[in-house]
Chain A
């Protein structure tokens, strides 16, 4: 059953990565990046690396998202391209 979960997580990983790249609103990109980090953490935990997954869940999904939001408030919210 583990491979079903991993394929689902891989699809979710690709979806959040494409959303983070293609969104015009940078706030959407920041939230999608946080979701990407949490999916990576779940993949790490499903492979048995609990410590790495814990670090990734705290840093990649929590702190980095907060820093991205702060950086967006300092600069601009819409992308130019």
Chain B
């Protein structure tokens, strides 16, 4: 985990693979209206791509992809996008999460609900991706003291 892999093949393969995993994750979020998938699955795929780089490059070296310090605030932001959209609809006089109540000029009510679902899916994806990365970072964070022979029961 914190001691990265030494093999060049593993590093290059995981760097290339993580790109395609993350592009597929974005596709799953954006294309969730037409094919199986949605915010949760796409967010988990984006997190899987980041965790692949985290495992092969080491936690310190892979900070530029998604820094640990901003992962937890981004998870809060995703949850706030989701819950805040419902609160915004309350001000327009609709029920909580009733996207059709927002009057957007030049749009039919079903199209407004279409874009409401899209905003919600992006919020879910952001919250799930950064939440899972934050959990992983917290789990491996104190591992540095246990030395290189972890896996054989280091107690530190």
Which positions in A face B, CB cutoff 8 Å?
27, 50-51, 54-55, 58-59, 62-63, 66-67, 70-78
Residues of B within 8 A of A78 (CB): 153
Count A-B pairs with CB separation below 8 Å.
Answer: 52
Minimum C-beta distance from A78 to chain B (A): 7
Known: A55-B41, A67-B136. 6 other contacts (CB 8 A): A51-B37, A58-B41, A63-B51, A66-B55, A73-B143, A78-B153
Q: Is the CB of A70 within 8 A of B37?
A: no
CB distance from B72 to the nearest CB of A (A): 17
| B37 partner, pick from A54, A59, A71, A75, beta carbons under 8 A | A54
Contact between chains at A67 and B135 (CB < 8 Å) = yes
Within the complex, which residue of A70, A75, A76 is in contact with B140, where a contact is CB–CB below 8 Å? A70
A46 to B38, CA, bound (A): 20
- Taking a contact as CB atoms under 8 Å apart, the answer to whether B153 and A76 are in contact is yes
